[in-house]
Structure 1
Amino acid sequence: MSSSTSSTQPAGSDQPAARPSLTELFFAFVMVSLSGFGGALPWARRKIVDQKRWMTAEEFNEAFALAQFLPGPNVVNFSVVFGTRFGGAPGGIVTLVGLMGPPLVIVTILAWLYDSYGGADVIGRMLTGILAAAIGLMIATMIKMAKPLFARGLHWSPVIAVLAFVAIGLMHWSLPLVAIVLAPISVALAWVRP
């Protein structure tokens, strides 16, 4: 398909979205970065899966799972994986620049403002409110990302997800230990029982 065709499809359309151009990739990730206060993952999923329909929910989860196992920030890794998938090396570069460029400018300005006015009580209250909103967005995104796992009914995927949550969230085991134990089990189960 031509990269110049429109990449947004009607919500009920069974047609896959057109392949995005480099310009569309760049501006999509600029919008993700400008929307992503407290975390860009919820906005990346909304833009890519819900609005543009460039990926299905399962494809997004798979690409994000790969990004989590790479060193570095997850959403940054995801932007490069996603951009490379649709635009090769130039796609990876434009999505990375789109994701990182605007926040770099904003954070530089905010750092200067915080250095100058950070002692004010109103700043602390604002940051507390932003934190609460960011946590809510992350929980909502986790629920959306988990739906494809649980939609399959009795399947091994939710069991692995729950085991990882219990091991890390409740038992406080280290992420590398849990990954070393659960990743091979998960891959073996996927190989045997797709």
Structure 2
Amino acid sequence: MEQLYHHPPQDGRVICIDEFGPLSIQPYAGKGWYKQKKPDRLPATYTRKHGVRHLFAALDLKEDKLYAHNRESKKHQDLLYFLKVLRRRYHRSERLYIVLDNFSPHRHKKVKEWADENNIELTFTPTNASWLNRIECHFGPLRKFVLEGSDYKSHNELAQAIQNYLRWRNKNKRLEKILREQNKIKVA
């Protein structure tokens, strides 16, 4: 792991992948400036009539760029779909070194076979050490800037907010308030 991070391979790039969620359509508490007499209040109860979604996220360490995709489940088929989307972003001759935790869909036979056929090397964090995956520190800012103080009405609205955040973050990755949130989560 440390070797990949501190001395990246010359023949490709290192990409860290993990899932974030489950994401529900519910009010999330947060801080903010509110009207004095009639502040917006979060409902005390809510129903999960929309189901949940899972965010597949990737961090390209070479460009310090985040990518993400919403899915209804976290099965190996969903991971394969996300990997195929990522693979299309880079030239086929460039080897991708993918860092993953030990979640069983990551180790599925079909995922490993597809990776071997598509110039991808899967690298797994040690058991119970998913914190070694560098994408972990990017979930804190995502939670703060997208979920905190929100009450989205649909998964599409939430997905759009996530994509808007990712575009903003990729343009402003050195902004102090982003770095401060990232540094709250310790990774290798």
Report the TM-score when normalising by structure 1.
0.27
Higher relative helix content: 1
Higher relative strand content: 2
| Larger gyration radius, structure 1 or structure 2 | 1
Q: Which has the higher contact order (CA 8 A, sep 6+)?
A: 2
